[in-house]
Chains A and B, each alone.
Chain A
Amino acid sequence: MASEDSPLWMLLDEGQQMLASTAAQFLSKSAPVGRLRELPRAPGADGFSRALWAEMAELGWLGLQIPEAHGGLGLGFFDLAIVLEASGQTLMPEPFVSTLLLGAQALLLGGTDAQRARYLPGVADGSRLLALAYDERGMRGDLSRLRASATREADGFTLRGVKPHALDAHVADAIVVAARVEPGDAIGLFIVPRDAAGLAIEREQRMDLLNAATVRLDAVRVGEDAVVGPLETSEALLSAVLDRARIGLSAQMLGAMERAFEMTVAYLKERVQFGVPIGSFQALQHRAARLFIEIALARSSVLAAARAVDDRPAEVPRLAALAKAKCGEAFWQVAAEAIQMHGGIGMTAEHDIGFYFKRAQAAEVMFGDGATQRRRWAEACGY
C-alpha cells in the first residue's frame, strides 16, 4: 500500500540539473541515434563504442554511484538514473544495464569485500564490463522454474546450464550466473570470469540493437570465493538487483520516449499536407496531447522509484513495478504513434524513428512485461 510518509522528493538539485543537461548535450552530439545503423553487427564486433565508454568513465559517469573507496564518486542511484535517462534519449547500446545495473548492483548489494575490490574500480574507470545471466528459455523471469545447476564440490561448485539473452555477455569480463544449488533448493549467484574453462558465449543479433549473448555453462568450476551474497539470501539479492535494473531501464525508457515524442511534435509542425502543417489537424493534436500526459505520469514514476532506492528501500519493489509498467505502456504508445504520425517515412530504415519502436517492444518485455509488473504490484499491495 502507499506510504503514509510524505511523498518521495522527485526534484533534481542544482548539481543534478547540471549533470542532466551536460549528459544530454554530450550524448546527443557524440552518440546520435543514427549511429545504430553503422555500429558493426558482424560476429566479433562489440556493437557499441568502447571509446565512448572510456570517455564517459573520464567524466565520472560510470562510477557515479560506486563508493569512493572503489574509485567512484559515492553519489546516489538517483544520480545514476539521471545519466541513464540521457543515455536513453539516443538509445545508446553501451553496456549501462549489464555493467552498471545488473553486475555492479549485485556486487554493491551482495559482493564480498574482495569481489568489490576486484571488480568495482574497473567498472568505474571503464576497463571492466560485467553481465548477469539469470533467465532461461521458458522461464520468463519465474525463479521457481530456473534449471541451471550449481553442484556443490569439496572446494567450490560446478555450474551447468544455458542462459540465453544475457545482455552484453559477449564483451563482459565477468558474468554473474544464477543457478540452483545442489543438493538443496536455494538459488545462488556466482561470479564467473570470462576465461573460465567450460564457459561458451555466443553472440545474438537483436532487432532493437541492444547486444546480448547466449551463455553456456558446461561444467564450469568455480571456488567458494565466486559466491555473491550468502547463499541463503541470494534469491532476495537477485530480486533486489532486478528491481534496480527495472528502475534504471525505466529511466532509459523515459529518455527514449521523450526524444521520440520531440521528434514527432517537430514533424507535425513541419510536414505540410493539404497546404497546412499536419499538426494543425485536431485529430493529431489531441493524440499528441495524450502522449504528453502519459509521459508526465511516467516521469513521476521513474523519479520516485529512483529516489526510493536511495531513501526508502522498503518501497523499491512496488515502485520498480510501477515505473516499469508505466514506462512500458507509455514508451510503446509514444513509439507506435510516432511511426503513425510520421507516415510512410517512419516505416523506412532510413528514418531514425523506427529504432524507437523496436526498442519500445524490447524494453517492454525485459525484466518482466506490464502484466508481470502488475501482478508483482498486486502482491506487494496485498491482493
Chain B
Amino acid sequence: MSEAPPLTEFRDEIRAWLEANAPASLRGTSPCGPFDGYWGGKKHPPVDPDVLRWRDLCLERGLTAPTWPKAYGGAGLDRDHAVVFYEELRAMGLPRPVVGFGFAMIGPTLLEFGNEAQKREHLPRICAGEIRWCQGYSEPNAGSDLANVQMRAVRDGDHFVVDGQKVWTSHADKSDWIFCLVRTDPTAKKQRGISFLLVDMDTPGVTPREIELISGSSPFCETFFEGVRVPLGNVVGEVNSGWTVAKALLGHERSMIGQSIGRAPGSGQRELVAKARHHLGAAEGPLPDPLLRDAIAHNGMDEEAFQLTLARLAQTREAGASPGSESSILKIAATEMKQRRYTLGMRIAGEEGLGWTDDGFDAQDVDFTRGWLRSRANTIEGGSSEIQLNIIAKRVLGLPDGK
C-alpha cells in the first residue's frame, strides 16, 4: 500500500529532513510518547510559535498522522515506516507534532467504521490539531460495567435528542467534540441497544464540569447533556450496533496506553536512587539504609523485567508473529509497578513528602507527592486492574465463567 522508499533509505531521508527543519527550541525536550506533543483544539491556551511551526511542517508532509491515507491528511505510510519516523523523533528528543484522543482513538476508529462524509469532515481537522476530542464512555453507573450506559438518545426527525450524564471525560472542558456511547434502544439487552455518536461540544445543552482529584489536579470532567440535538449523520456505524465500534476504539485506547508505558530503561531506579541520595545525604557509595537499598533494588529489578518483557513482545511483532496472550499483562504490570515506585519514593522522602505547596517544602517533592496521589488512578482508569485480571483469567487461562 505504501509508495515509500525502503526503510533504511526512509530513515536517512527523515533524519536529514529533521536535521534541516525541526525547530531547534524543541529538540531534546520530549520523550515523544503518545501524550507528549501539541494537543490542539480551539480552546488551547496560547502556545510557543515553534510548536505550531513544527505542527505545520509535519502537516505539510502528512506526518502528523503518518499512517492515515493522504486523502484525509495523512502520509499513507505503513506501520513500519511510521515506527521509523517516531524513532527518529525520539532520537532527537522532539515532541509529536499532534497528539490527543482524536489522533489516537477516534481517528483510527473512523477509518475503520466511519462513512465517507464523516472521514472527510473529521480526519483532516484531527491531522491539523484543529479539533480536540474527548471520550464519553463512563457514566455514574457504567464504569467497569461499561455496557450499562444509560444516556438516552431519542430520535426526533433527522436528529437524536440526547439526555444524560457522562463522567471521567478527560479534558472535556478543553475539547471541541466528544464521541459518546448512547442508549438508542432501551428495550434491547445491554450491548444491543447502544449507538456510537459524535457530538459537537458547542451544541446547546452540553455542560462539562471539572472534577477535582485527590492530587489537586482536574484532568477529568463530568459532562451533562440536556436536550442536546445531534444530527442523525453523526452516528458511526449502524444505529444500535455501537458496541462493536466501542470495542474497536477500546483496542486503540489500550494501544495508546501501551505506548505510553515504555520509559527510558532504568530511569525509575535512577530517580529513586537520586532521591535517596538527596534525602539520606549520601552522595556516593552504598546507600546507608540497607532496607531502603533492598527495596529500591527490588523496584529496579521489577522495572527491568518489565522493560525486557516489552522488548520481547516488540521483538515478537518484529519477527512477524503475534505477541499473543502475554500482552494482556502490560497494563496491570506497568501501572502497579508505577504505584510501587511512587510509594517507595514517598517512603524515601519521609516528612519532606508531606507538602501540598512549596511553602515549607521543595517544589520537586511537592510535584512527586501529587504524582503519587495521581498514580492511584492508574489502576482504575482505562480498564481497572480487576478487569485486566478478569481478561487474563478468562481469555488467556480459559477459566470458566461464574454461575
Contact = CB atoms under 8 A, between A and B. Distances in A.
A300 B308 contact: yes
A378 B392 CA distance: 33
Given A1-B266, A268-B399, A383 B287 contact: yes
B7 interface: no
Interface stretch (A35-43, A230-238, A284-292): A284-292
A3 B308 CA distance: 11
Interface string B373-403: 0000000000000101110111011111111
Nearest to A1: B266
B215 to A, nearest CB: 27
Given A322-B304, A371-B294, A300 B287 contact: no
B309 A280 contact: no
Contact of B301 (A11, A276, A325): A325
B270 A1 contact: yes
Contacts of B277: 383
A345 interface: no
Contacts of A269: 398-400
Nearest to B325: A292
A378 B293 contact: yes
Nearest to B329: A293
Given A375-B297, A379-B286, A381-B300, A298 B400 contact: no
A279 B302 CA distance: 28
B316 A301 contact: no
A273 to B, nearest CB: 12
B307 interface: yes
A288 B399 CA distance: 9
Contacts of A265: 397-399
A252 B67 CA distance: 43
B278 to A, nearest CB: 13
A205 B364 CA distance: 57
Nearest to B277: A383
B147 interface: no
Q: Choose among B297, B304, B309, B389 the residue with the greatest number of A CB atoms under 10 Å from its CB.
A: B297
B142 interface: no
Interface string B275-316: 011000000001100000110111011101111110110011
Contacts of A276: 400, 402-403
Interface string A362-383: 0000000001001101110111
B312 A289 contact: no
A297 B298 CA distance: 13
B20 interface: no
Given A292-B396, A300-B308, A378-B286, A326 B301 contact: yes
Q: Choose among B266, B390, B393, B402 the residue with the greatest number of A CB atoms under 10 Å from its CB.
A: B393
Nearest to B385: A286
Given A3-B265, A11-B315, A297-B309, A378 B399 contact: no
Contacts of B146: none
B294 to A, nearest CB: 5
B42 to A, nearest CB: 42
A167 B294 CA distance: 29
Interface in A70-124: none
B401 A280 contact: yes
Chain B interface, >50% SS class: helix
Given A3-B265, A371-B294, A375-B294, A322 B301 contact: yes
Contacts of A293: 329, 332-333, 392
A271 to B, nearest CB: 11
B217 to A, nearest CB: 29
Contacts of B358: none
Nearest to B386: A286
B273 interface: yes
B308 A9 contact: no
B274 to A, nearest CB: 10
A30 interface: no
B319 interface: yes
A381 B269 contact: yes
Nearest to B312: A10
Interface string A3-16: 10001111100000
A49 B185 CA distance: 69
Contacts of A326: 301, 305
Contacts of A298: 305
A300 B270 CA distance: 21
Interface in A291-306: 292-293, 296-301, 303-304
A377 B312 CA distance: 22
B326 interface: yes
Given A297-B333, A300-B312, A377 B393 contact: no
B311 A11 contact: no
A7 B397 contact: no
B397 A288 contact: yes
Q: Choose among B308, B326, B401 the residue with the greatest number of A CB atoms under 10 Å from its CB.
A: B308
A292 B398 contact: no
Given A288-B397, A292-B329, A374 B315 contact: no
Nearest to A330: B305
A360 B319 CA distance: 34
Given A292-B329, A293-B332, A378-B293, A280 B308 contact: no
A379 B390 CA distance: 39
A8 B403 CA distance: 45
Nearest to A277: B400
Given A10-B315, A383-B273, A292 B297 contact: no
A363 B319 CA distance: 33
B275 to A, nearest CB: 11
Contacts of B265: 2-3
A188 B401 CA distance: 61
A322 B305 contact: yes
B201 to A, nearest CB: 38
Q: Choose among A265, A293, A303 the residue with the greatest number of B CB atoms under 10 Å from its CB.
A: A293
Contacts of B307: 2, 7
B312 A279 contact: no
Contacts of B392: 289, 292-293
A290 B333 CA distance: 9
A285 B393 contact: yes
Given A1-B270, A280-B402, A383-B287, 11 more contacts: A2-B307, A3-B265, A10-B308, A280-B403, A281-B402, A286-B389, A293-B333, A297-B306, A374-B293, A381-B273, A383-B273
19 contacts: A10-B308, A10-B315, A11-B312, A265-B397, A268-B399, A280-B400, A280-B401, A288-B393, A292-B392, A296-B329, A297-B302, A297-B306, A322-B304, A377-B297, A378-B294, A378-B300, A381-B297, A381-B300, A383-B276
Question: Considering the complex of A and B, which 4 residue pairs feature the smallest CB-CB distances, nearest first?
Answer: A2-B266, A285-B393, A7-B311, A2-B265
